[in-house]
Amino acid sequence: MILRIEPDGHVPPYEQIRSQIATMAASGVLPEGTRLPAIRQLASDLGLAGGTVARAYRELEQAGIITTRGRHGTFVEKVGATADNGELDAAAQLFAIRALQLGVEPSHAYDSVRRALDAVTQT
């Protein structure tokens, strides 16, 4: 599993982890039943505090995306479209903020989203 964390980004590291794992589970990159790294291991690999990874895992578990089986590990629970409107709205807000930071006109931002959606939905 490859996660990329931007420590100086405007999105907190726990949210970056949560979002990336949720996306990988929803897209099938992480199939149902995939065992995730232990909190300590992932924190070490990413150079983060264990509490940061624990918070991401906790939020993923509350959303029903992963399940923790104690000493047996943490596993992907659901595959498919797990994003609800709240998660989509949050992603859209982050995009809008970043577009404004870049000085992009709203019409250009809309066009960028359309191109990105077209690119990922083409078969």
Kindly list the domain boundaries of the chain, sorted by start residue. Answer: 13-76, 85-121
Measured between alpha carbons, how far is 10 from 56 in angstroms, rounded to an integer?
16
Measured between alpha carbons, how far is 79 from 87 in angstroms, rounded to an integer?
16
13-76: which CATH number, 3.20.20.80, 3.40.50.10420, 2.60.40.1120, 1.10.10.10? 1.10.10.10
pLDDT of 119? 81
pLDDT digits (tens, 9 = 90+) for 99-117: 888 899 999 999 999 998 8
Q: Six-digit token pair at 20?
A: 């990336």
CA angle 57, 88, 38 (to 5 degrees): 15
Please tell me the pTM assigned to this model: 0.66
Strands (E), 3-91: 35-36, 66-68, 74-76
Q: Is the pLDDT score of 83 beyond 60?
A: no
